[in-house]
């Protein structure tokens, strides 16, 4: 065996350009394969995420239809703060599940615009947000903060931050904005490629890689703040009538000119769109997968065919047929392993990598069968004779 490995190394060294090209072919085939699988996986995860947000419930958002002038009037009408507070109290005391997702502001951190997002704890579960954070701590810390219950002495917000921050920060560190007006103590990191959906903004997913996520904060004395809070709620109900009491206060007290807009429709539209994409990708990806697979297979079979003459010469010089098999297998292990390692490096330990390993193993098995069928004394010696 050692002799065969040594021989293979010498052979590969002598034939390095050809061998390098085969490796390149294999790496590209596997990377294409990974790309297809990643696309599938990504779309599957998106559909799963969209469906998980509702989990069979109806989703609504409050849609502000008031004109700018009217809104201005409402905000500055004396006593409106009390009316708005009433809506919030009603909401907080009701059993209705709601997710708050509030893009409060963007801040500049180290010269970069960063989205500061306020969320309720259920946001992480409903939007299937994964990361390195303690959910129990999130449940405890991400409750809705108000001016009354907020401890200003620390002048520090707790935050779960996007994966981009992993390079520079660790849990416990504090991120400060460029104007030193806000600081965020990191209690966790999100995994990369986490995303959210903006209600009423099409089917696009928005990345959280650069975001800072903190608990919801409401100033219960500010009409602006309270209305922004209400407009940031995504209500999850079995029936729209669950929201009647809230709507009644809003409408009767003329808190704002608003109506309930279905978020379900947007989510269903998104789910359908992504399912269609999934189908198209499935057909295209399936074809590409087949070509990538055949490409890999051809690469390896071509190597056997290219080297058949050399194998035959080796047999004449004293190699056993098993020496030839061992050399072929060793070469393929080298080619496949390089391809697999590059793919795992690119795609990490993901579904794409597992499928790549599986496909590579199937290829290896098929090529081994091909090699054993194709390489026998008769055919190899015939190969020498046919060149004569």
> Which spans of this chain sit near another protein (rule: CB under 8 A)?
3, 7, 14-15, 309-310, 312-323, 377-378, 381, 384-385, 387-388
Closest approach of another protein to the CB of residue 307, in Å:
10
* CA distances from residue 24 to 56, 299, 327, 331, 381 in whole angstroms, order as listed: 47, 10, 20, 14, 31
What is the rounded (10 degree) CA torsion for 376, 380, 386, 388? -150
Beta strand 233-237 pairing with 157-161: unpaired
Closest approach of another protein to the CB of residue 360, in Å:
27
Q: Which is nearer to another protein, 289 or 312 (CB)?
A: 312
Q: Which DSSP letter does residue 170 get?
A: -
Closest approach of another protein to the CB of residue 28, in Å:
24
| Interhelix angle 80-93/223-231, nearest 10 degrees | 40
Closest approach of another protein to the CB of residue 13, in Å:
11
Q: Which is nearer to another protein, 32 or 326 (CB)?
A: 326
| Interhelix angle 80-93/68-76, nearest 10 degrees | 90
Contact 303, 324 (CB under 8 A): no
- For residues 283 and 207, give the distance between their C-alpha atoms in angstroms, rounded to a whole number: 27
Task: Tell me the two tokens of residue 255.
Answer: 């808190």
Closest approach of another protein to the CB of residue 330, in Å:
15
Q: Which is nearer to another protein, 167 or 387 (CB)?
A: 387
- For residues 88 and 82, give the distance between their C-alpha atoms in angstroms, rounded to a whole number: 10
Instruction: State the first-to-last Cα distance of the chain, in angstroms, to the nearest integer.
Output: 32
Phi, then psi, of 169 in degrees rounded to 5: -125, 165
Q: Which is nearer to another protein, 119 or 319 (CB)?
A: 319
Q: Which is nearer to another protein, 283 or 317 (CB)?
A: 317
Q: Enumerate residues 6+ apart whose C-beta is below 8 A from 224.
A: 75
Q: Which is nearer to another protein, 28 or 309 (CB)?
A: 309
Contact 169, 186 (CB under 8 A): yes
Q: Which is nearer to another protein, 346 or 384 (CB)?
A: 384
Q: Which is nearer to another protein, 158 or 321 (CB)?
A: 321
Closest approach of another protein to the CB of residue 314, in Å:
7
Helix (H, G, I), strand (E, B) or coil at 361: helix
Task: Tell me the two tokens of residue 107.
Answer: 């801040």
Closest approach of another protein to the CB of residue 11, in Å:
9
Closest approach of another protein to the CB of residue 312, in Å:
7
- For residues 249 and 83, give the distance between their C-alpha atoms in angstroms, rounded to a whole number: 8
Closest approach of another protein to the CB of residue 164, in Å:
49
Return the closest-CA partner of residue 126 out of 100, 147, 154: 100
Q: Which is nearer to another protein, 244 or 306 (CB)?
A: 306
């Amino acid at each position: 065996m050692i002799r065969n490995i040594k021989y293979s190394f010498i052979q590969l060294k002598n034939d390095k350009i050809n061998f390098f090209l085969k490796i390149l072919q294999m790496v590209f085939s596997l990377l294409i394969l990974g790309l297809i699988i990643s696309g599938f996986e990504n779309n599957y995860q998106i559909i799963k995420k969209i469906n998980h947000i509702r989990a069979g419930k109806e989703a609504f958002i409050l849609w502000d239809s008031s004109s700018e002038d009217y809104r201005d009037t409402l905000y500055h009408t004396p006593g409106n703060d009390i009316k708005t507070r009433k809506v919030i109290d009603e909401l907080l005391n009701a059993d209705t599940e709601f997710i708050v997702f509030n893009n409060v502001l963007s801040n500049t951190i180290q010269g970069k615009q960063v989205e500061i997002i306020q969320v309720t704890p259920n946001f992480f579960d409903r939007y299937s947000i994964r990361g390195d954070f303690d959910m129990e701590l999130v449940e405890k810390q991400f409750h809705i903060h108000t001016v009354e219950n907020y401890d200003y002495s620390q002048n520090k917000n707790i935050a779960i931050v996007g994966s981009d921050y992993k390079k520079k920060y660790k849990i416990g560190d504090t991120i400060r904005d460029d104007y030193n007006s806000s600081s965020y103590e990191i209690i966790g990191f999100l995994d990369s490629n986490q995303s959210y959906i903006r209600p009423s903004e099409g089917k696009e997913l928005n990345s959280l890689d650069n975001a800072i996520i903190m608990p919801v904060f409401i100033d219960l004395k500010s009409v602006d703040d309270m209305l922004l809070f209400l407009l940031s709620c995504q209500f999850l109900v079995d029936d729209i009538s669950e929201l009647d009491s809230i709507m009644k206060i809003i409408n009767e007290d003329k808190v704002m000119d608003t109506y309930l807009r279905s978020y379900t429709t947007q989510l269903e539209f998104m789910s359908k769109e992504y399912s269609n994409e999934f189908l198209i990708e499935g057909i295209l990806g399936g074809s590409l997968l087949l070509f990538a697979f055949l490409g890999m297979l051809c690469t390896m079979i071509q190597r056997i065919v290219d080297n058949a003459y050399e194998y035959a010469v080796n047999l004449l010089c004293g190699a056993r047929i098993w020496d030839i098999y061992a050399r072929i297998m060793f070469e393929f292990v080298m080619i496949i392993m390089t391809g697999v390692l590059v793919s795992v490096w690119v795609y990490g330990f993901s579904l794409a990598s597992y499928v790549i390993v599986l496909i590579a193993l199937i290829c290896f098995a098929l090529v081994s069968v091909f090699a054993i069928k194709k390489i026998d004394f008769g055919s190899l010696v015939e190969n020498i004779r046919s060149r004569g």
